[in-house]
Homo-oligomer: A and B are copies of this chain.
Amino acid sequence: MSNKATLKNIAEMLQISISTVSRALKDHPDIAKETKRKVRELAEVMDYEPNAFAVYLRTQQSKVLGLIVPEISNFFYHSFVASIEQEARKRGYTLLILQSGNNPEIEEANLKLCKLNRVAAIFVALTSETNDIAVFKRIMVSGIPIIFFDKVPDDNQCIKVTMADTDIGKLAAKTIHQHKKKNVLALFGNPNMSITRKRKQGFVNELKKLSPLIEIATSTATSTKEAKSLALEALQSPKKIDTIFCMSDEILTGVIMAINQLHLSMPDQIAVLAISNGFIPKLTNPSITYIETSGAMLGEKSMETLFEVLDKGISKKTELITSKLIQGGSI
């Protein structure tokens, strides 16, 4: 069975020991140059690749990173994944991408899967339904670092990388104020999530401060459909709103549907401002003005944080990413 490319086979063919082969391939100083050359040559032609499973078994160090997100088909997470993936590839890591489908049970199952696969670390964007992070804590104490990103828990005893959500809310408020709007409908997502609470708080407080006389109606829309019907209702009601603020792409999608259905034009008949990743806003004419939440930036920062954690063994830290306004024509 000399066909499989293993250390053992290389050793046999070269009539040297397995350990010598192993060290030669790792450029260990103990090994003679000539031996190294021979080993490397044969390894090359045999297309040798170390068996990751055996390596793990011996070193207990897997080169796999877990990634758990509610849904990956979403521009934000996608750009996040893309940037993580790129960096991971450079460092020889593999990404184990798992989706929880916004279901805490699947989320937990995925967590278990990560543990089973002995991942080196896990990136987690929480489900909007997750309100108990005890499971995660258990994994953390078992020695696998967890980096929460985007949808993070309130708890401060963990590693978090997230957008500066309060600031984003404030920026939205400032934008609306600058345009002298009078009557705003603000649509927010699931109020259980800290991301929602922070954006809402930043937005509402700032807007009230800047424009004390403005009318602000806030509503909760946990789906595109809901956002659409809320928008339709508001747009058809007698007391006319002049602006809709959407805290996410999911909501923005519903609002666009409503506006299209009523054949309203932006920004004169209705102004729109959103927090978005940039795909949906470009679909309309004029394009929608939005505050960009960059998955790529979040990814980079998360990766940086990860290696900090891996190297220095920190166990709590909060990283905030700032973002900027992208001017469209909707306000």
Interface residues of A in 87-127 (CB under 8 A from B): 89, 94-99, 101, 106, 109, 112-113, 115-118
Cross-chain contact A113 with B99 (CB below 8 angstroms): no
A265 to chain B, nearest CB (A): 9
Task: Give the number of residues in A that approach B within 8 Å (Cβ atoms).
Answer: 45
Binds B, one of A15-23, A35-43, A67-75, A233-241: A67-75
Q: Which one of B72, B113, B263 contacts A72 once the chains associate, using CB atoms below 8 Å? A: B72
Q: Is the CB of B57 within 8 A of A53?
A: yes
Q: A115 CA to B50 CA in the complex, in Å?
A: 11
A interface, over-half SS: helix
Q: Taking the complex as formed, is A256 at the interface, i.e. its CB lies under 8 A from any CB of chain B?
A: yes
A116 to B62, CA, bound (A): 12
Whole-angstrom CA separation of A78 from B75 in the bound complex: 12
When the two chains form their complex, are residues A94 and B72 in contact, meaning their CB atoms are under 8 A apart? no
A211 interface residue (CB < 8 Å to B) = no
Could you show 21 A-B contacts with beta carbons less than 8 Å apart?
Answer: A49-B112, A49-B116, A51-B57, A52-B118, A53-B56, A53-B57, A57-B57, A72-B97, A73-B74, A73-B75, A73-B77, A73-B78, A85-B99, A94-B113, A95-B97, A95-B98, A97-B97, A257-B283, A257-B285, A260-B283, A260-B284
